[in-house]
Structures are given as structure tokens and as C-alpha cells.
Amino acid sequence: MAELTSFSYRPRISLIHKIDARFKLLFIVIIGFLSLKASLPSVLLLSVFVVYGLVRIGISIWQVVRDLYIFIFFLAFVFAIRAFSAGGAVFITIFEMGLTYEGLIEGSLVCLRIILMILLGLLFTSTTRIAEVKAAIDWIFKPLPFISGSRVSTMTGLMMRFIPVILEQARETASAQKARSIENRKNPVYRMVKFSVPLIERIFYNAGRISMAMEARCYSDMRTGQKLSSTMNDWITLIVILLIGIISVLFL
Amino acid sequence: MNIIEIKELSHMFSNGTLVLDKIDFSVKKGEFIVIAGPNGSGKTTLLRHLNGLLFPTGGTVMVDGVSVSEDPVRARRIVGMVFQDSDTQIIGETVREDVAFGPENLCLGRKEIEQRTSEALRITGLTCMVDSRPHLLSGGEKRRLAIAGVLAMKPDVLTFDEPFSNLDYPGTRQVLKQIIELHKSGCTIIITTHDLEKVIAHADRLIIMKDGKIVRAGFPEQIISDAELFGIKEPYFSRMGLGMISWLS
């Protein structure tokens, strides 16, 4: 038996699962734009709502942290750049670079916005079937001329299909290297190269095998799609999200 | 009537390796064929020519009278393939979705898709797992799911690439039983393996491959004793002169 990665669909009966995929995409866009205008407490509040949603559908936050631990280094880097580059009164100097209170706030805000978008993406992929995502994207692109909605949706569907595969491969590669005492090598560049080269090779190899298996089952962008239908719940959720957004931007 | 006809099939990889060298054979409707050979003998490459996943660099492959190169999609509808690694074959997020993947690709109506999905799940005994996550199933269940996914497309020919690899004893028996039932229901079966013991008792014909060539072909009883000449283990029952003994008996 395999262990699930965080970015996998989890079949459950929940309100979030039942929401139409088109509305979910709209919610991501709305929250994304709101977070750009929102202050630190507002983004924090929105993040709390998303984390609550993740916990409700049974996702372990520790597993998310474990799956995305490499990303934490990226966030730390972004935070450090922001914290040391923003203007304001310097209260600590490290290697001739001044750390400011404004920088700390700005760095935290940028990192929190990125985290919010990742968590939203996670909530979306965990509660939406790829077939529904494909159907939603197809619906969005249908009125646009010169863009094949079915092709864009197929590409998106394939991308979503491969995210858990990539995470699984990363986990297996890391385990295999730990089993051969990679921790004894202290040079991070050496470790990075030894991790990323075989990982990329394996990802391409497995992508080739999966696409061959899909081809064997006549996969193309012309296929019977999922039917989408919106309900009263979707509209109520939209109003609630708009209200939360407006309140958090205006009053926090 | 021959459902598959292969004439002088050759395949060369882009690095110049000749993987298949002038292969000739045909498959009758309803036959059960085992293709045996050591690793690297070209078994998987041969299977991939039957449903247009690979195209010949020489010779022809005809499925139901039409060249696979001319109409690979038609060939894929007629010849279903169960891959060696079930994990790469499983596409859906639930068991039901995975089985429905093939019929959806055939652009069937939703009702027909539901019917075919339920039927394939019933045949493979997975009805009670319709909403399970495929990647959390056991090895034997995954292999049966891969079979269900192909069955839902209602192919005439079922090809299995090393169907018993990585399976424990109960899993092997489950899958073998499934294959035999499918054969009894009228499907043409082609299996590649390097482990004859598990399946040979049920085969109508045995083909032995080595280095991309067919080196022996005929009734299993007549040629099985030559298997070890080509790097394949001769089954214990054959070596001891006990005749053909099924793993299900």
C-alpha cells in the first residue's frame, strides 16, 4: 500500500467537495486578489479559514509541512530578502545589513500570501476531481476564440495528475538516498545535485509510462466530459466569501 | 479466423538496437497464447505493437484485417493492454473513475459509461471498492483494477504484460482466475511472462522469444522442455513429467 501525498484528491462527502468546480476557481481568484489588498491580520484570518477547511476534510497539516519542507527554504529566503531590504528604523544589523520592523511585517505578509495561495491550491486539489477541473476550464475557455478549451483543460488535467506523482517520486528518491547515508555529506550543493538529477530523470521516465498507459486507453482531448451544475449552496458560499473578504479588507 | 496477423515485424530503437527481428505469427479469435522469454527478449516491445503504442520499423501488424499503423485508435479499441506496472496504468482518483476513464475516451454516453463501469467492476470483484482511492489498494486489487479499466472498453483481445510480477501467492491466484474466466467468456488472451509455471497449464500455444526473435512456437506440451535452453525456468511439474498442473488446482 502507498501513502497519500498532500496534493491528492480525497473522496469525501463534504460541503467543499460538493461545490461546483467553476465556483471554486472563482473563489481562488477572489481570495487571491483580496490577499493582495489585505493587511497582515486579514491574510492571517483568511489563512485560518483555509486551514480550518483543510482540517475538516481530513488533511494533516504536519503532512503538508513534511511534503513541502523544501519550499520552506524558499519562503525563508523570500522573507530574509524582504526583511533586510525594506526601509524603516533598523533595530538589528547582521553582516552590515539592517533588519527593520517594517521589513519583518512586509516579509511576513509576502510569505503569508504565498502560503495562503498554496493552501488554497491544496484545498482545491484535495476536494475537486480532475474531471471536474477539466470541465470547469473547458467551460471558462469555451467563449474565447482562438483558444481550444478542451486542449487547455486536458493540459491542466494532466498537470494535476502529475503533481502527486512528482511528490511521490521526490519522497522515494529522498528515502533511497537517506538509506545510503546522504546525511553524511554536508555540502548542500552536492546533495541538491544528487537529489534533483535522478528525481528529474525518474519524473520524465514515469511521465512517459503514464502517458503511454493513457494512450493505450484511447485518451485524447475529445472525450465524454463531466457535467457541471451549480446549486444554491454555491451561490451562498460565494456571498459568504465575498462578505468575509470585504470585512477582512475594510476592518482589519 | 485470425484476429492478429504479424508479418516480418522488426523494430529498431533510435540508438540502433534491434529489439524485434522479423517476427511472424498470427492469433486466432479465442486463443490463449503465452509469450515467454528472458528480460530484454522483446516481449513488451512486441505487445506494444499490437495496439499502436509502437509502430514497426519493418513489416506489418494487422488487427482484425486493418494495419495498426493506419488506424492505431481502432487497434486500441480491439486490443486492450494491461501493463506490468499497475500504478502507471491507474489514472482515476477513485476506482469507479479509473474504470470509467476508457469508456469516456471512447466518447460514449454517460449511461453507457455507467453500465460498462459497473459490469467491469462486477466481473473483477471490485464493486465494494468503487469509491476507494486506487493507490491505496493492494497489489492484487490494483492489477484487477487495471484489468477492469481495460475490460470496460470491451476489447476483443486482452494482452497482459507480466501480469504476475510483484504479486504474492493469493494475488497471483486472484489474477490468474480472472484471466481464465475472461478467456472462458470468449476473450482472446495474450500473456508475456518469464515465469511459465503460473500460467502455462491454461495456454493453447507457447511462443518463446530470445534476442528479439521467435525461437520456438507450438503446443506447450511439445516445446516446454526446451524453455531452459533460452533462459526460462522450466516448470517443476514439467521437469518431473507430471503433465501440466494449474496453480488453481
CA distance A138 to chain B (A): 16
Q: Among A215-219, B40-44, B133-137, which stretch is predicted with the lowest mean pLDDT?
A: B133-137
| Residues of chain A predicted below pLDDT 70 | 1-6, 251-252
Identify whether the C-beta of residue B45 lies closer than 8 Å to the C-beta of residue B124.
Answer: no
Question: A172 and A99: one domain?
Answer: no
Question: A106 and A162: one domain?
Answer: no
Q: How far apart are CA B48 and CA B59, in angstroms?
A: 15
Nearest to B73 among A11, A131, A218 (CB): A218
Among B205, B143, B206, CA closest to B177: B143
Identify the three-state secondary structure at position B241. Answer: coil
Question: Which residues of chain A approach chain B closer than 8 Å at the C-beta?
Answer: 1-2, 4, 8-11, 129-131, 161, 206, 209-210, 212-220, 222-225, 227
C-alpha cell at A174: 529522498
By CA distance, what is B132's nearest residue in A? A11
**pLDDT computed for residue B210 by the predictor:** 94
Residue of B88, B94, B110 to mutate for A, most A C-beta atoms under 10 A = B88
Identify whether the C-beta of residue A203 lies closer than 8 Å to the C-beta of residue A169.
Answer: yes
CB atoms within 10 A of CB A162: 16
How do the residues of chain B divide into helix, strand and coil, expressed in percent and rounded to 5? 40, 25, 35
Q: How far is CA B227 from CA A2, B50, B98, B143, B204, in A?
A: 36, 24, 38, 27, 16
Question: A98 and A154: one domain?
Answer: no
Residue of A59, A132, A215, A218 to mutate for B, most B C-beta atoms under 10 A = A218
**pLDDT computed for residue A5 by the predictor:** 64
Identify the three-state secondary structure at position B216. Answer: strand
Question: A84 and A192: one domain?
Answer: no
Residue boundaries of the structural domains of chain B: 2-239
Q: What is the pLDDT of residues B147-188, one digit of tens each?
A: 999 999 999 999 999 999 888 888 889 889 989 999 999 999
Question: A123 and A2: one domain?
Answer: yes
**Within a domain: residue A135?**
no
Q: Which residue has the higher pLDDT, A248 or B65?
A: B65
Query: Can you identify the CATH homologous superfamily of domain B2-239?
Result: P-loop containing nucleotide triphosphate hydrolases (3.40.50.300)
Question: A64 and A31: one domain?
Answer: yes
Question: A5 and A110: one domain?
Answer: yes
Domain around A178 = 148-225
| Residue B173 host element (H or E) | helix B169-184
Question: A3 and A90: one domain?
Answer: yes
**pLDDT computed for residue B25 by the predictor:** 92
Question: Which residues of chain B approach chain A closer than 8 Å at the C-beta?
Answer: 48, 51, 53, 73, 76-77, 80-81, 83, 85, 87-89, 91, 93-94, 97, 101-110, 113, 131, 133, 135-138, 149-150, 153
Q: How far is CA A46 from CA A22, A69, A154, B30, B166, in A?
A: 20, 22, 31, 62, 46
Please give the full DSSP string across A20-59, using - where no structure is assigned: -HHHHHHHHHHHHHHHHH--HHHHHHHHHHHHHHHHHTT-
Question: A204 and A237: one domain?
Answer: no
**Within a domain: residue A138?**
no
Residue of B50, B91, B113 to mutate for A, most A C-beta atoms under 10 A = B91
Identify the three-state secondary structure at position B210. Answer: strand
Nearest to A215 among B53, B80, B137 (CB): B53
User: What is the distance, to the nearest Å, from the Cα of residue B100 to the centroid of all Cα atoms in its chain?
Assistant: 20
What strands lie across the sheet with B213-218, from one edge to the other? B79-82, B157-161, B188-193, B32-36, B205-210, B213-218
Question: A44 and A125: one domain?
Answer: yes
CA distance A218 to chain B (A): 6
Residues 6 or more apart from B7 whose CB is under 8 A from it? Answer: B24, B59, B60, B62
Identify whether the C-beta of residue B223 lies closer than 8 Å to the C-beta of residue B206.
Answer: yes
CA distance A55 to chain B (A): 19
Give first-to-last CA distance, chain B, whole Å: 31
Identify the three-state secondary structure at position B217. Answer: strand
Identify whether the C-beta of residue A84 lies closer than 8 Å to the C-beta of residue A98.
Answer: yes
**Within a domain: residue A5?**
yes
Q: Would the pLDDT of B71 be above 90?
A: yes
**pLDDT computed for residue B6 by the predictor:** 96
CB pairs under 8 A between A and B: 81
Q: How many domains does chain A have?
A: 2
Question: A219 and A235: one domain?
Answer: no
Q: How confident is the model at residue B42 (pLDDT cuts 50, 70, 90)?
A: very high
Residue of A6, A212, A217 to mutate for B, most B C-beta atoms under 10 A = A217
| Residue B9 host element (H or E) | strand B2-12
- Own/partner pairs for A198-201, CB < 8 Å, 24+ apart? A198/A173, A199/A169, A199/A170, A199/A173
Longest dimension (CA), chain A: 64
Q: Is A95 left (phi over 0), alpha (psi -120 to 50) or beta?
A: left
